[in-house]
Amino acid sequence: MKRLTSFAACFLLIFCHALLLHPRETQTNITYRLSWDQPNSHLLNIAMEIDNPPGDSLHVSIPAWRPGRYIIQNYTKNVINFRVFDEAGQSLSSEKIDKDTWRIPISETNTVVVKYDYYARHLDGGSSYLDDSEAYINPITCLTYIPGKELLPVSLTIDKPADWNVATALKFDADVNAYVSPNYYELADAPILISPSFELLAFQTQGAMFEIALQGEANYQKDKLIEDIRKIVEEQIRVMQDVPFERYLFMYHFVPYRFGHGVEHKNSTSIVLGPPDFDDKKFYRGFLGVTSHEFFHAWNVERIRPETIYLPDYSKENYTTTLWTYEGMTSYYGHLTLVRTHLVKRKKYFESWANIIKRFQNSYGRKVSSVAMVSWDSWTKSMGHAPPNTYYSFYMKGNILGMMLDLEIRHRTENTKTLDDVMRYLNETYAKEDRGVPEDGLQKAIEQVADSDFEAFFADHVYGTAEIDYNRYLQYAGLELVTKPDEKSPNVYLGISLSRDEKETTITNVKPESAAFEAGLDIEDVLLAIDGTRAHTQNIDVLLKQYAPGDIIRITVFRRGKLRHFDVKLAEAPPDKYEIKELQEPTELQLLIRKTWMNEEEEAEEKEVEE
Ligand SMILES: [Zn+2]
């Protein structure tokens, strides 16, 4: 090894020192520019400029999925006309090396400019959309990143018509005339609405600014909207005892067709709903419900985050058994917030619980798949994309588990601890410490807060498929679930679901263990007759009402073009009416749990002025 002269050694020291003091001078600098010139082409023109690119060979990728929807989405399919240039505008070569990634060999260039067009013509909470009325950008769907360099700071310039405005949670830095983000993760997490027509409302509370951007026509009353969203915000901040942002943006799109979708982000949410009718109580409950759900995500999943997606790998599936806690328990708090703030009345709250429990009990998949597995498999299975009778929504069971856990904790601790304490514990222990929650983190947190063992609960209901004894939990709050047969329905049960086409009614599902299943009826059989009488989706209940449990009926179908007959021994119809009622003589503890759980007292006082 050649010896350095003392001069050279000294020079090297000074140079290294200078590098340490001014690391940014040679740091990779990433800026994006977004523009469009022909809105009805739906093409966004995107440029990514990389100063001082890392290494000799640069990789750029488009994410394959987005947090919030745990399936591979392949956004790269919308990328066309991919080109690369150096700082002088000379073309550089590039090579696509997998479905989402381009490799750009670089030498003797200080700057690489990647340019491409992105076809943006899908409008939901998590997509990107361009027409002559707006540009709606979810950066995660359309902005390239450098794998492994997601933590570098980035900035974004938007070339837009002068009279179009921007709504986003991203910070605008007037000094550089661009939106700036400390890293790609936060840029990817901030949707941007650019339009000449959205309305912007705002309010302040708890030291933070809340903005409401509304795109599309709708008959909302501004003051009421602000006041009701403020109630949701203040209640959830009361639960979490934490305001983790200075500014938060509620972004709404109203569309003229039936639609509902919301996506959570760290400092904003984007919600698409339609058709809007703010005079319709059901629509308004839905509006408040999705708003409440998405806002609670600002903690639960955005900050209290599974370890495995804490810093997500956008190139592939990121598995976890815990999505039920992040979605289901967010649904639980979404609903609970509305009853606690009296935006929804207790009666409606009970009705919605009865409905959720009924739907879950009617899904055969609950007997087959644990909610931990349903969470894990979300990447490959979803509603309608899994074998029938094997799956259910982890939102639904997670919501039910949220209620069960809350009431169980309250009961075991004589109402001195609640699920609210658990959420605060998770926030303090993980979110505030900048780390993800391990797979068993929720169970550990509950056991810590309640000072009690929840091993059996998790084994039965999270990792297992045990039947739920709803009344065990509801009774803790002085409530009970009552089920009974629906007098309007036949008192016999077949176990099939039917298509809605009266002219050609097909069997869309045969529930395992049911009378129809045991007799051999199959999915896609075309229903023709019951005991020789033409049967279809509209008259089947009328026909079945003539029979009693134990009767044997002959069902005639076409199966793959052949006439077939099946003799079915009818079973007794299971109870179809679900109701949640208050116990007549609750104990003091039951009453205390119910009142504090739902913030009941104030509602009693308000009752006289309500409808
Ligand atoms: Zn959600």
Which has more confidence, 606 or 326?
326
Looking at the predicted structure, is the pLDDT value of residue 221 above 50?
A: yes
Confidence of residue 602 (pLDDT cuts 50, 70, 90): low
**pLDDT of amino acid 515:** 97
CA distance 36 to 158: 10
Residues 608 and 603: their CA atoms lie apart, in Å, by: 10
Ligand 1 centre to CA of 279 (Å) is 26
Residue 293 Cα, ligand 1 centroid: separation in angstroms? Answer: 6
Q: Could you give all domains of the chain from N- to C-terminal order, each with its CATH number?
A: 23-196 (2.60.40.3650), 198-298 (1.10.390.10), 309-485+581-611 (1.10.390.10), 492-572 (2.30.42.10)
Would you say residue 291 has pLDDT above 60? yes
Least confident of 54-58, 436-440, 443-447, 533-537: 54-58
> How large is the average pLDDT for residues 153-169?
98
Q: How far is the CA of 284 from the CAs of 280, 338, 343, 387, 602, in angstroms?
A: 6, 12, 10, 35, 22
Question: If you average pLDDT over residues 16-21, what whole number do you get?
Answer: 44
Spacing, Cα 328 to ligand 1 middle (Å): 8
Q: What separation in Å is there between the alpha carbon of 200 and the centre of ligand 1? A: 24
Residue 5 above 70 pLDDT?
no
Confidence of residue 382 (pLDDT cuts 50, 70, 90): confident
* Dist. CA 296 → ligand 1 center (Å): 9
* pLDDT band with cut points at 50, 70 and 90 for residue 545: very high
What distance in angstroms lies between residue 68's CA and the mean position of ligand 1's atoms?
7
* Per-residue pLDDT, 55: 82
Residue 606 has pLDDT above 80, yes or no: no
Residue 464 CA to ligand 1 center (angstroms) comes to 23
C-alpha angle with apex 219: 216 to 224, nearest 5 degrees?
115
For residue 402, report the distance from its CA to the centre of ligand 1, in Å. 14
3-state secondary structure string, 521-533?
Answer: CCCCCEEEEECCE
Angle at the Cα of 156 from the Cα atoms of 154 and 160, rounded to 5 degrees:
175
Q: What is the mean pLDDT of the chain?
A: 94
pLDDT at 600: 85
pLDDT > 80? residue 439: yes
Tokens 């089947």 identify what position? 540
Q: What is the pTM of this model?
A: 0.93
Q: What is the mean pLDDT of residues 152-156?
A: 98
pLDDT above 60 for 568: yes
Q: What band does 109 get if pLDDT is binned at 50, 70 and 90?
A: confident
Read off the pLDDT of residues 116-149 as tens digits, 9 standing for 90 and up.
999 999 999 999 999 999 999 999 999 999 999 9
pLDDT of residue 448: 98
What distance in angstroms lies between residue 598's CA and the mean position of ligand 1's atoms?
21
SS (H, E, C) 171-227: EEECCCCEEEECCHHHHHCCCEEEECCCEEEEEEECCEEEEEEEECCCCCCHHHHHH
Contact 505, 539 (CB under 8 A): no
Geometric angle at alpha carbon 349, from 331 and 287, rounded to 5°: 55
Q: What is the CA(408)–ligand 1 centre distance, in A?
A: 24
Dist. CA 91 → ligand 1 center (Å): 43
Checking DSSP bridges between strand 268-274 and strand 95-96, what pairing results, if any?
unpaired
Q: Residues of the chain with pLDDT > 90: what percent?
A: 91
User: What is the CA(435)–ligand 1 centre distance, in A?
Assistant: 21
Q: By CB neighbour count within 10 A (0-12 exposed, 13-18 middle, 19+ buried), where does 387 fall? A: exposed
How remote is the CA of residue 578 from the centroid of ligand 1, in Å? 26
Q: Give the Å distance between the CA of 57 and the centre of ligand 1.
A: 38
pLDDT band at 107; cut points 50, 70, 90: confident
Q: What is the pLDDT of residues 349-377, one digit of tens each?
A: 999 999 999 999 999 999 999 999 999 99
Cα(335) to centroid(ligand 1), Å: 12
Q: Is the pLDDT of residue 341 over 80?
A: yes
Place of tokens 């004894």: 469
What would the pLDDT profile of 19-50 be if each residue is shown by its tens digit?
444 444 478 999 999 999 999 999 999 999 99
Ligand 1 centroid, distance to 471 Cα (angstroms): 27
Proportion of the chain above pLDDT 70, given as a percent:
94
Would you state the pLDDT for residue 17?
46
267: CA distance to ligand 1 center in Å?
Answer: 14
Residue 521 pLDDT grade (very low, low, confident, very high; cuts 50, 70, 90)? very high
How confident is the model at residue 296, as a pLDDT? Answer: 98
Residue 300 Cα to ligand 1 midpoint, Å, equals 9
Report CA(277)–ligand 1 centroid distance (Å). 23
Tell me how far the alpha carbon of residue 201 lies from the centroid of ligand 1, in angstroms: 24
pLDDT digit string, tens, across residues 190-201: 999 999 999 999
pLDDT of residue 10: 44
Rounded to the nearest angstrom, the distance between the alpha carbon of 21 and the centre of ligand 1 is: 43
